[in-house]
A and B are shown apart, each in its own frame.
Chain A
């Protein structure tokens, strides 16, 4: 069965600090990987996604993530955070299937990021 682990429950940073949020997944086959962000009181929005190709993926708002297949990891990074990045971040995995229905999206428990001005 697929599962996703996000190592940090709550991360507190000062503005301009660098960010790395860990995400590990378990799945026996090929996966698509996603990071979603949920700003306070809002719905989930896609930050970035990896389907294939270059394992270093660039998303919106200066975020990037690197897929390391050997480590089953897809960590999210940002060189310099801003106060407006305060939100909850979710890593998600979808197993790729061929010739059948789509797999469902499995989420990690989320990491709350608080950025102090």
Chain B
């Protein structure tokens, strides 16, 4: 059972270009989380998605950032018109959907991250 797969592992973009980061959750997982890790700042929650549905995007910057998790295919985190400050490691995590009564008793499994460098 493959773990959470993120690609690319490293991505270099010039200022103003678009960055697309992909995350394939573990098999059977229908919940995906995106986190950003900036140096000295730890992990910051960005967005939480289920298939075809954004559940919580309270951590997403208001502009240039968007995320989707289509019915088929990986989750995509898209950053338009990248700036130097977007340089960071972006981690995706997935967790399974269980019964509706207690949904928090699950851990999240993390991918290896995508390191975005904006030059």
Interfacial residues, chain A to chain B (CB-CB below 8 A): 6, 9, 32, 34, 36, 42-46, 49, 51, 90, 94-110
Contacts and interface: CB of A to CB of B under 8 A. Distances in A.
Nearest to B100: A99
A97 B110 contact: no
B75 interface: no
B101 interface: yes
A96 B102 contact: yes
Given A107-B35, A109-B42, A110-B42, A95 B113 contact: no
A104 B91 contact: no
A104 B43 contact: no
13 contacts: A9-B40, A36-B110, A44-B110, A46-B109, A51-B105, A98-B102, A101-B55, A102-B31, A102-B48, A102-B55, A104-B45, A106-B45, A107-B44
B108 interface: yes
Interface string B93-110: 101000011111111111
A31 B35 CA distance: 20
A97 B104 CA distance: 7
Given A32-B105, A97-B103, A105 B33 contact: yes
B112 A42 contact: yes
Contact of A102 (B101, B106, B113): B106
A90 B42 contact: yes
Given A94-B104, A95-B104, A98-B101, 12 more contacts: A6-B42, A32-B104, A42-B112, A43-B91, A45-B110, A49-B107, A90-B42, A100-B100, A100-B103, A101-B55, A105-B108, A110-B42
